[in-house]
Structures are given as structure tokens and as C-alpha cells.
Structure 1
Amino acid sequence: MPQTMDWRKVALFVCVLSILPLVCFCATSFIPVDNYLIDCGSNATTLVGNRNFTADNLSKNFLSTPQDVLASTSLKSTSSSGDDSPLYQTARVFTRSSKYTFPINHQGRHWIRLYFFPFTYQQYNLSSASFSVTTQNNVLISNNNFSVQKIPVMKEYSLSVTSNTLVITFTPFNNSIAFVNAIEVVSMPDDLISDDAVSLDPSAQFSGLVVQALETVFRVNMGGPTVSSRNDTLQRTWVPDQSFLVQSNFASSFSNIGAVQYVDGGPTVNSAPPSVYGTLNEMNSSSDPRSIFNVTWQFDVEPGFQYLVRLHFCDIVSKGLNELYFDVYVDSFLAAKDLDLSILGNNVLGAPYYKDLVTPSTANNKLRVSIGPSGLNSNYNNAILNGLEIMKMNNSMGSLSAGTAAAANNSGSSSKNVGMIVGVVLGALGAVVLAGVLFVICRKRRRLSQEQSKTWIPLSINDGITSHTMGSKYSNGTTISATSNYEYRVPFLAVQEATNNFDESWVIGVGGFGKVYKGELSDGTKVAVKRGNPRSQQGLAEFRTEIEMLSQFRHRHLVSLIGYCDEKNEMILIYEYMEKGTLKGHLYGLGFPSLSWKERLEICIGSARGLHYLHTGYAKAVIHRDVKSANILLDENLMAKVADFGLSKTGPEIDQTHVSTAVKGSFGYLDPEYFRRQQLTEKSDVYSFGVVLFEVLCARPVIDPSLPREMVNLAEWAMKWHKKGQLEQIIDPTLAGKIRPDSLRKFEETAEKCLADYGVDRPSMGDVLWNLEYALQLQEAVVQGDPEENSTNMIGELSPQVNNFNNHDPSASGVVQLDVPSTVDDLSGVSMSRVFSQLVKSEGR
């Protein structure tokens, strides 16, 4: 009897395991708050799968049109995905501008799906329709012509709706018509599109996806069949990838849907269903497992737009953890290096993972995605891809159509005539009223501008004591206490005056936050004015962080904050002006003379002092999180100052070793341990600074996709030559023969230590600073004793905590005695506990 019960328990356990994925799948299904399904031109409700599409003829409260034209056809309407939907059998035809208005109960991202199937109905030939489709903020289609379409088309958009209604307007062009077969307006999960993505442009970081309008261009299931909307929790369709493969014989498909394990904190079935994560295409290297090649897919895209590329991965082929490593490329960009899915999936084999990438604005009509083996495991060369989504991002005009400008100039003649008649009748009266209003406004603004621009005075620093003097038409330039909310606030009109009304010719830089303008205050002080991009939601967090960080400390090697402006929904930061620009510009930019080795060492030392102060000079360590040559600025004397604290993070508590946080930073400089574990420490800055050191030595970008594969990543390439003992072979040619060997050896040893795989093996920034100062002394003076021997042992002798060399006496080995570098200078604290009272509203930022 006990044996029988054991078998029953086993059977029950197996049964539970078999239905668990289905239970999880159902439990995480998304129920949209807004769910409008409209069958246009129909007289009855249409059932599609398990969803009811309401006839717009029965829901006229949504539709506003000057003429009822309901079209129908008996033609078979099989789409490219094999969808023979009844939705394509009827259409609503518009002879003039018409609109659907949908009440929005839950603001946020919504799907908009528009169904089109051009057929002929009576005198209306839908194939020749020419029209636009717009919402309140975006152009979805402009001057579209369906004459080339012989099959049904469903166009899918993802929009952020921030109002209580969504209005979709159809406008015919040039006496043509507009039409639509069906419409969906459906709420999306709030977390489906996050605000951040990895920019493929190595010099920039992308944030602000939340406010972007997106058009789904491709949604592909690698290695598997079509996944219809009925088998996706969000009613998406995934098409097979065979037609996109450049060399189909390079790829081998694999399926193991049962191996997919959704884990807490990772993607869910709403990200992609098991039928996508459970199939893949991998390298077809069965004949030779050590062969090296890439599997590539190619897609047709519209030039002039940026694209959000979402790559879906799930390791269902490996037998154990940490077995599969591979690289991913988008066009010529290295999008992911040494990808280890087992770590990214919380050490669960078969855990889904996806990566969001944003392309630069493309001039090409082709986009390529490639996967290939990593050099970390030469005995098991493989790479996989499970799914792919490519979404077009709206341009600066809020349009997803390249024909927007042309469409605006080709509106229907009837509309032009009506506008002309109205203009003639009301023009004279309107002009008089408008002129009067403008006169009053201009006079008032001119008077306000004069009052404010004459009285604003920047903060001043006297004898190490910081006093903040901010004038306005109310304060008249009197000194305000250090705890005042207004100590750093600058009137918007004063910023306009300083930048010549944001003259584009005064732009000196562009970053993820926005443009940077050169400016001059009314007292002659030169400043750098960083104006936030109002479309970036992430910008508000960076804006606040920058003010908070730079107002708490002051150091000669940190760029000083002069003020900020948050009027008129602006996010403007004003800094001291750095005459010589960025370190990056001097290393491989245009128009700057080459830096000497001494100048480079002094710049590195200054930067290290600034970072060392961040790590140790305040109550809590501050981790910069975006250390790179573009964020090291130089004044007129080439003194280095660390800038851009928008991503900075306060370090861990005393009883903690790290801060757990989402990975942010710049590609090529990012600490691989931080990337793998999402645990941030000061040693993440040390790693990034190590990359900067090699950048200073070699004077080339940290990521250069135009170079041969082994040279693309500077850190890897430099470490390879360092291990050969031949680093001098790849240094900046302008430095050839000008660096003392012992100074170079000390410098490269320091950089090598910074790039250790694990943070515990890296030196502190204080150790880095000490060794760089020693490298400078080795360059400038003859050291007593054997310089070669001293150079080799210096890290251990001067910084025992690096290698635990505790028994060395520097004075006994002929080593030059160095003064301990100054770590805390120009320190002043400013309370900013109330400075954000005016920054809590994010509308329009």
C-alpha cells in the first residue's frame, strides 16, 4: 500500500509540473483597462478569436464624419501571416476629414492597430486612396497610397496617451478618399516599454522612450513558426525569420518550449510568449564546433528615423550554466559583448531575457542584426537569438511618416478654399486683435527682461567660503542664505540673454540630456548652459541629481554648478565654462594640438583627484557611474575637471558592500561586474577610469566598429598587447620616443589593475592617484637606484592594499618619497533639502 501511494504522489507531482507553465502563463495575462475593438463599416458585431469587434455603425458616439459610406467586399483577404480575418470584409470610407474619439480611462501606453484592405466598392477604389492618419500629438500615416498592396495590412503603433481622450483623425488628400477596415485602441502593460535603452552610438546614451511614439516594423520568431495573435497575451503576431536570413545555411533552428522558465524580476509572458522564447536559431556549426562565423538577419527600414531594437534571448540549448557566451551586432555596432544569459537570468537556465537598443538615425534602408561566438570559450562556439522586435521611433516633428512635410503641403483643394474664404472674411478683424495682444505681451516681456537681466549676479567663492548671491526683480542682488530655495535659481530670461536666445551657432556639445550652449552672463562671466530635452522623462531625474550632487560639494577638479532654471517647464543647468573642451576632443577630435605625455598625466591625475574626492570626501561615497573622456573637461590651463553627474548615485551604507541598481553608463566604459550583477560600488568608477587611461595612451575611441574585430574594443585590445609586454606598439604615434619606459610601465600597470574582472581586485581611486603621480615623477626626474626595478615594484610599495605587500619599506629601497596627494580641497557643503519644491511636477519635461 505505501508503495502504491508513492507512485500516486509521483504521478500527481508530474501532473502539477506539466500544468505549472500554463498556470503561470494565465496568471500573468494582462487585462487592459481600455479595450476598444471597432469593426469599421460593419452593421453587426464581429467575433475574431475570443474578441468581439463592435460595429462602428452601432457605436457612432465614437465616430464623427460628415458622410456615412459603408463599404463591403466578398474578396478573400488572406494576409501575409495567413490571417483570413472577417475584419477585412468591410470598411469605413471617408470623403472628408473624419475622426474617432475614444475616452481614456487609464493614461499611459496604448496599442493603436489599424487594419487596411484595399478593394473596390461602387465608385470608391480603395487602392488609390491617399490620406493621413493622425492623433493629437503624432502623425501615424501621411499621404499613404495603398495601390501596391494586394493583401491585407495591419499597422501597429504604440503611443503614450496623457489626456482623457484619444482622437484618431483620417484626412483625405487631393480630392482622394481615406478608409479603414478596423481599429483597436488597447491599454498596454506599463512596464512593457521602459524609459531607458542602450544607445548604439558610443558617444551618447538614450533615455526618454516613455514619451516616444513607436511603430512596429517587424516582430519575428527566430527558428519557429508564426505565432498568431490568438496565442499571445497581448494579441501580437510573430512571423518566422527564414525570409530575413542573409545566409540561411549558417543557421540551425532549435525548439524546446518546455525548457522556458519565467523568473521573478525578469521578462514575463507579456514580453514574449513561451512559443517565442522556446524556439531559436543558432550557429550551424555541427560540422566543426570550433568554426567562427556570424548568423545575420537583414530587414528593410525607412531611412531618416531611429529604431528601437528589442532582442529576445533564452538559453534552451546549453546543458549547464555559464556555458554559452556570444556577441551581438546591430549594423556595424557591437551591441553586446560576451553575453552570458545564465547570469542575466539569475543563474536559471532557460530564463528569458531581452535587451533594448536604440540605433542612430539611419541613412540606409537596410538594418542588419548579427550574432557570433565570443572569444571566452573557444571550445564551444555558438550564439543564439530567440526573437526580435524592430520599432520605428517618431522624429523631431512627432511623426512616424517621412512624407509628413509633403503631406502638409498637399491638403485637399476643398479645404484650401474653405480656409481662404474664412481668412478673407475674418482676416482684417483678427489681424487687428492679434496685433494689439502681441504689442501688450512684447512690452511686458521687454520690461521684465530688462529688470531681471540687469540684477542677476552669479555665485561667488571667497577664501574657501561660498556665498550665493542671486538677484531678481524682487531681491535686487542681495545675498541670500545658504539654505534658501532660490540660491541657485536663474531667471529664464537671463538664460536667454546669456545664450543669445539659444543661438544654434553657440552649441558646443550635444548629449543624452540635451544641447550645451556657450553663454555669457551680464557681468561678463562665461558659462556653459545645458538645456534639457523636454521630451525626455529621464531628464527630470538627471536634472535633480545634478543639482543635488554639485550643490553638496565643491572641489577644484569637479565642474562647478553656477545655477539652474526650471521656469516654463525648462530644465537648464549652468556651469562654469571650460575653455578647452573635453579630453575626448583633444585625444582624437579635430582642431586641437596633440597633448604631451606630461599634459596627459596631469589631466589623469586631476581627474583621479576629483573622483577620489567623490568616493571619500563626503559623508557617503558618491559613485559617478558615467566616467569617460567626454565627461572630463579642461580649462584654459588644461586643468581637468570631472563633469556630468546626472547618473551619479550615493554609495552603500556602512554595513553594506554595494548598491543594487539598474545598470546605467556608457558602452565601452561599463564595469562588466556591475553589468552582470547589477551591484554598484566605487570600483565601477575605477574600471571606467582604467578604460580612460588606455584611451589617453592610445588616443582612439573605446569602441570603433570600423576596425577589425580584435581591435574594436580598446580595453581588450590594449590588455592583449600589455600581456605580450608590447603595449608601446599601439600607443599614440605622436608620443613615440617621448615617454620614459619606466613611466609607461607604471602607467600601464595602473590601468591593468583598474580593469580587473572583479572589483575586489581593483585598486581604490586613492591608489590609482598615488601611482599616476609616481608615473609623472618617473617621467620628469631620474630616480635613485634602478628605475626599472623601482617601477616594477611601485604599486606594491606605495599602495600595500592593492597587492598586500606589507613588508616593504619605501625608504629602504631607494624609492623617491612622495607627498600624499591632497584629497580634500575647496570643500563646502550646501543644504539642498528644500531646493526641489519647484521641481516636483514633471509635466512637459
Structure 2
Amino acid sequence: MFFLLLSFYFTIPAFAAGNSTSNSTHILLSCGTSETNIVDSNNLIWIGDGTTNYISKIASKTSQWPSQNPSVPTIPFNNARLFSSNYTYTFPLSPGRYFLRLYFYPANYSNLLASDSFMTVTVGPYTLLSNFSAWITVTALNYDYLIQEFSINVTSTTLNLTFAPSTKHPSAFAFINGIEIVSSPDIFSISTAYDADGNNKIFSYDEGMAFQTMYRLNVGGQSLARSQDSGNLYRSWDDDSNYIFGAAFGITFSNDPNVTIEYPPNIPQYIAPVSVYETARSMGPDPHINLQYNLTWILSVDAGFYYLLRFHFCEIQYPMTKPNQRVFFIYINNQTAQTQFDVIAYSGGIGKPVYRDYVVLTVGSGQMDMWVALYPDLSTKTSIMMQF
């Protein structure tokens, strides 16, 4: 089963102590070049795939980008490796979970048109991308380039990553600009996930599942660059404001100066950087206004998949120090996923991060909007001012 992951970092599941991953693999591969020691804007060092033993002996082409687009980072997008037939990278790795990131800048390389770049990408038993067009995707999203992130569990001593031109398009070719592999703790299968039906039914999934990251949102705070992440995982975090429905943005604020973020023993610091928990979004102090709307995010997703939504909370301002001061509902696609959620009661106190996972199966096909909303619980007579 293949999962797509949506993460909400409001204001993350490993149960081992420590602030870094136990494995230290970090491969940064600039494809289509034989250069070494290529330093990017985050001061990370890439190596050309032409200098490694990762590449296949099957023939492939290399190309530099045809134009200098100032909005596209030079590294790793200034070169590409092009494939007219199936092509496999082989990486020797220790068994364990890894983040795999694929970097795409669709362009007219050599005599090939960007619009013909249709491909399927597989790793082990998983099809990560099927009949995928980076050009169509960036055009639809109004992006210039793409980074596709996956979390995969490697059970052998090698990882085979295969790019295959689509057989559905006569002139199809595959390409890749960069490949990143970084060790990751298993932050998924050891967590308890609940079906998003409001009945607190536990969803069972095993440690071998693969995930694709769809959204990782820092709610109430600014976007965070990869270099600002914790645990040497190099994740990027996006501003959530672009996904809020309507004009009901609420208010944003930082943690009270007297509040220190303290990770509980079961949540190591590599789960998320401190800066993620130091900001929040609130519905505001007026209970009469709060009762008139939900705080809602809308996320475009592909129908027909399971989605894991991970919500992260942390009370960061006084006087919210006791249970029953702030209690709320969580809705996913108009279903009540959670009633009477109380951050203080769940976390044990102010300044303590917590998270909760929900799984939802979307039905149908094509694109759809996923609605995520929160609303105060009136039955508890709480203070109503909601913070996420």
C-alpha cells in the first residue's frame, strides 16, 4: 500500500532518545555532470553522478539547462541526465528508512521537448511516479521546478531507482536533475494512526509502507529552508497562509517569552525544529466572532489514495496552562475526525509539543480538494480563542 503524507505543523513519531538520526547517510547527486564538490545555496555539497558507481552502464545522455532562469537554483538544476530507455541507479545502503528526493527542472534539453518528458519512476516494489510529466505538473502549479519527496523503507543492502520513459507516448523520454537520499528515523509505522471517522478506530499499517510527502506546512510561521531543519533531515517547511480558505486567517503570533519549548521524552528534537513550535495561528480573542466560522485549509490532492494527516500542536502563550481552557473539533473532508481535543490535557503542559495522526481514503479519480478545519467545542465552555 502506498501512502501520501500531509503534515500540519501547528504552532512530530519516534520513541527513542536523542536529537539526531542513528544512521548518517546523506547522498546528494547532481545528475548529468562529472563535477565534484558542488556547493549549493544551503552550503550542502553535491557530487556529479558521472563520478560515482551509482549509474547504470546503459547508455544515457547529459545536458545543461538551455536557459538561465533566475528563479531556478543552479544546483542541482543546471544539468540533467536523459534516458530514452529504462535506466537504473544502484545505491548501496544499510537497511532502514530514508527520505528520497527527486529534483526535476523540465526544459527543452538537447533536441528533446519538455512536453515529451513522460516517465515512470520505481524503487524496489514501489511505483513512485506513473506516466509522470514534470512539465505538465509545473505548468499546472505555476512552478519552475519540482522536488518530489518520498519516505521509503529499505530492507536489503541496495536501493535500485529506475527511470522508464512512458510507453504511452511515442517520443517520451525520462530525465532527472538531482537525487538526494538521507537517513531517517521511522517516524510513521511506530505511531498510532486513527481512521478519520470520529470513532477513534486505529488504522493498521506496517513499517514497510512508502509515503509521498504532499504538504509540510508551518502554521503561523514563515517558510523554513532545508538548512533550518533539525536532525540532519533537510526537510523544507512551507508557509500555510496560501492554503487557508477565505479571509478567515485568524491571527499569528510567537511563543510567550517565558515559554520554553520542551520536547517530551518520546519526541526527539529531530521530529521538528524548535522554530516550528515557536509560532502559531489563532482564531483570535473574540468568542462571538470565532463561533461564526471554522479555521479551514484547502489542499489539492489526487483522489483514490490513502492520506496520512499528521497534526502537531503546542500551547505557547499564557494563560493557556490548564485543561479545558481550549478544546476543539478536528474535521477532515467534512467528517468529524476528533472531538474535544485539548492540547494541554494531551501534552501535559504549556510548551510541550504533541502530534496526532489520522488516515483518510479519498474516493474517485482526478484532482480533488481536501478540507481540513478546526472549530471550538462549545459544550466545554472553553475560552474559545483557538491556537494551532
Match of 2:11 in 1: none
1:340 alignment partner in structure 2: 342
Partner of 1:130: 118
The aligned counterpart of 1:382 is: 385
Alpha-carbon contact 1:326-1:382 (below 8 Å) kept: no
Matches within 5 A, 1:383-402: 383-385=386-388
The answer on whether the counterparts of 1:132 and 1:142 sit within 8 Å (CA) in structure 2 is yes
**Secondary structure at 1:334 match in 2:** strand
Equivalent residue for 1:190, pick from 175, 186, 189: 186
* Residue aligning to 1:365: 368
In the TM superposition, residue 375 of structure 1 has moved relative to its aligned partner by 2.3
Does 2:248 match 1:249? yes
Residue pair 1:133, 1:168 contacting (<8 A) in 2 also = yes
Report how many residues are paired: 352
Q: Distance in 1 between matches of 2:362 and 2:70?
A: 35
Greater RCO between the two (CA within 8 Å, min separation 6)? 2
Larger helix proportion of the pair: 1
Match of 2:15 in 1: none
CA contact (8 A) 1:310 1:357 kept: yes
* Partner of residue 170, structure 1: 163
C-alpha spacing 1:353/1:260, structure 2 compared with 1 (3 Å):
farther
User: Which runs of structure 2 are paired with 1:675-690 in the superposition (5 Å)?
Assistant: none
Unaligned runs of 5+ in 2: 1-17
| Percent identity of equivalent pairs | 28
Deviation of the 1:377 alpha carbon: 4.2
The answer to whether the 8 Å contact 1:116/1:154 transfers is yes
CA distance in 1, matches of 2:346, 2:83: 51
Which has the higher Rg, Structure 1 or Structure 2? 1
- Does 2:35 match 1:44? yes
Unmatched 5+ stretches in structure 1: 1-26, 386-845
Q: Is the 8 A contact 1:328 1:372 kept in 2?
A: yes
Contact 2:30 2:75 in 1 (8 A): no
After superposition, give the CA deviation of every residue in 1:14-73 in whole Å (9 maximum; x if it has no partner). xxxxxxxxxxxxx713363332221111221322324211110111x1110422411112
Structure-1 residue corresponding to 2:85: 96
Q: Distance between the aligned counterparts of 1:137 and 1:341, measured in 2? A: 39
When residues 272 and 199 of structure 1 are mapped into structure 2, their CA distance, relative to the original with a 3 A threshold, is: same
Corresponding residue for residue 223 of structure 1: 220
Offset at residue 77 of structure 1 (A): 5.4
> What does 1:315-334 correspond to in 2, within 5 Å?
315-319=315-319, 320-322=321-323, 323-334=325-336
Of 137, 143, 156 in structure 1, the residue corresponding to residue 149 of structure 2 is 156
Q: Please tell me whether the aligned partners of residues 157 and 215 of structure 1 are also in contact (alpha carbons under 8 angstroms).
A: yes
Is the partner of 2:164 in helix, strand or coil? strand
Instruction: Determine if contact 1:229/1:236 at 8 Å carries over to the other structure.
Output: yes
Q: Given the superposition, is the C-alpha separation of residues 225 and 171 from structure 1 closer, same or farther in structure 2, using an over 3 Å criterion?
A: same
- 1:69 aligns with 61
1:227 maps to a residue whose letter is: L
Judged with a 3 Å threshold, the aligned counterparts in structure 2 of structure 1 residues 260 and 356 are, in CA distance, closer, same or farther, namely farther
Superposition RMSD on alpha carbons, in Å? 2.2
Q: Distance in 2 between matches of 1:379 and 1:199?
A: 26
CA distance in 1, matches of 2:64, 2:286: 53
In structure 2, C-alpha distance between the alignment counterparts of 1:97 and 1:297, rounded to whole Å: 40
How far apart are the structure 2 equivalents of 1:200 and 1:156?
A: 24
How has the CA–CA distance of structure 1 residues 177 and 77 changed in structure 2, closer, same or farther, with 3 Å as cutoff?
Answer: farther
Seen in structure 2, the aligned counterparts of structure 1 residues 266 and 31 have a Cα distance that, compared at 3 Å, is: closer
Alignment of 1:211 with 2:208, yes or no, is yes
Contact map agreement 2:313 2:353 (CA 8 A) in 1: yes
| Cα deviation, residue 192, structure 1 | 5.2
The answer for the alignment partner of 2:127 in structure 1 is: 139
Find the residue that maps to 2:101 and give its secondary structure. Answer: strand
CA distance 1:113–1:247, change in 2 (3 Å): same
2:24 pairs with 33, 51, 57, which one? 33
Report the alpha carbon displacement of residue 162 of structure 1 after superposing the two structures with TM.
1.0
The separation in 1 between residues aligned to 2:91 and 2:157, in whole angstroms, is 9
Residue identity opposite 1:294 in structure 2: N
Alpha carbons 2:197, 2:337 under 8 Å: kept: no
**1:354 aligned partner:** 355
Trace 1:280-679 onto structure 2 (pairs within 5 A): 280-286=280-286, 288=288, 291-319=291-319, 320-322=321-323, 323-346=325-348, 348-363=349-364, 365-378=368-381, 380-385=383-388
Match of 2:80, SS state, is strand
Higher strand fraction: Structure 1 or Structure 2?
A: 2
Q: CA deviation at 1:250?
A: 4.5
C-alpha distance after superposition, 1:397-425 (max 9, x if no partner) = xxxxxxxxxxxxxxxxxxxxxxxxxxxxx
- Report if the CA contact (8 A) 1:260-1:314 is conserved: no
- 1:379/1:41 CA distance change after superposition, 3 Å: same
Q: CA deviation at 1:230?
A: 0.7
The CA distance in 2 between the partners of 1:266 and 1:36, in whole Å, is 28
Q: CA offsets per residue over residues 502-532 of structure 1, 9 Å max, x none? A: xxxxxxxxxxxxxxxxxxxxxxxxxxxxxxx
Q: Secondary structure at the match of 2:271?
A: coil
Q: How does 1:744-755 map to 2 (within 5 A)?
A: none
- Distance in 2, matches of 1:255 and 1:288, equals 24
Cα distance in 1, alignment partners of residues 344 and 74 from structure 2 = 41
1:758-837 aligned at under 5 Å gives the runs none
Cα deviation per residue 1:560-602 (whole Å; 9 max; x = unaligned)? Answer: xxxxxxxxxxxxxxxxxxxxxxxxxxxxxxxxxxxxxxxxxxx
* Counterpart-to-counterpart distance in 2, 1:142 and 1:109: 22
Q: How much has 1:209 moved relative to structure 2?
A: 4.3
Would the aligned equivalents of 2:304 and 2:361 in 1 still touch at CA under 8 Å? no
Which one is further off, 193-202 or 171-180?
A: 193-202
Query: 1:78: Cα distance to partner?
Result: 2.7
C-alpha distance in structure 2 between counterparts of 1:239 and 1:169, whole Å: 29
Q: What displacement does 1:376 show?
A: 4.6
For residues 204 and 103 of structure 2, what CA distance do their matches in structure 1 show? 31
For residues 57 and 144 of structure 1, the distance between their equivalents in structure 2, rounded to whole angstroms, comes to 25
Secondary structure of 1:122's counterpart equals: coil
| Aligned-partner Cα distance in 1 for 2:171–2:306 | 33
Distance 1:329 1:290, change over 3 A: closer
How many Å separate the matches in 1 of 2:103 and 2:285? 42
Q: Which amino acid aligns with 1:244?
A: Y
Q: 1:136 to 1:313 in 2, by over 3 A?
A: same
Q: What displacement does 1:128 show?
A: 2.3
- Within 2, Cα distance between the matches of 1:290 and 1:120? 51
SS at match of 1:64: coil
Shift of 1:328: 1.2
SS at match of 2:263: coil
Contact 1:65 1:97 in 2 (8 A): no
Displacement of 1:287 after TM fit? 7.6
Residue 87 of structure 1 pairs with residue 90 of structure 2: no
Q: Which amino acid aligns with 2:79?
A: T
Q: For the residues of structure 2 that align with 1:183 and 1:334, how far apart are their CA atoms?
A: 39
Report if the CA contact (8 A) 2:49-2:55 is conserved.
yes
Q: Report the alpha carbon displacement of residue 367 of structure 1 after superposing the two structures with TM.
A: 0.7
What is the TM-score when the length of structure 1 is the normalising length? 0.40
Query: Runs of at least 4 residues of structure 1 off by over 6 A?
Result: none
Quickly say closer, same or farther: Cα 1:248–1:376, change in 2 above 3 A.
same
- Asked whether the equivalents of residues 216 and 236 of structure 2 are also in contact (C-alpha less than 8 Å), the reply is yes
Residue identity in the other structure for 1:137: P
- Secondary structure of 2:345's match? helix
Distance 1:377 1:314, change over 3 A: same
| Residues 193 and 237 (structure 1), Cα distance of their counterparts in 2 relative to 1, 3 Å cut | farther
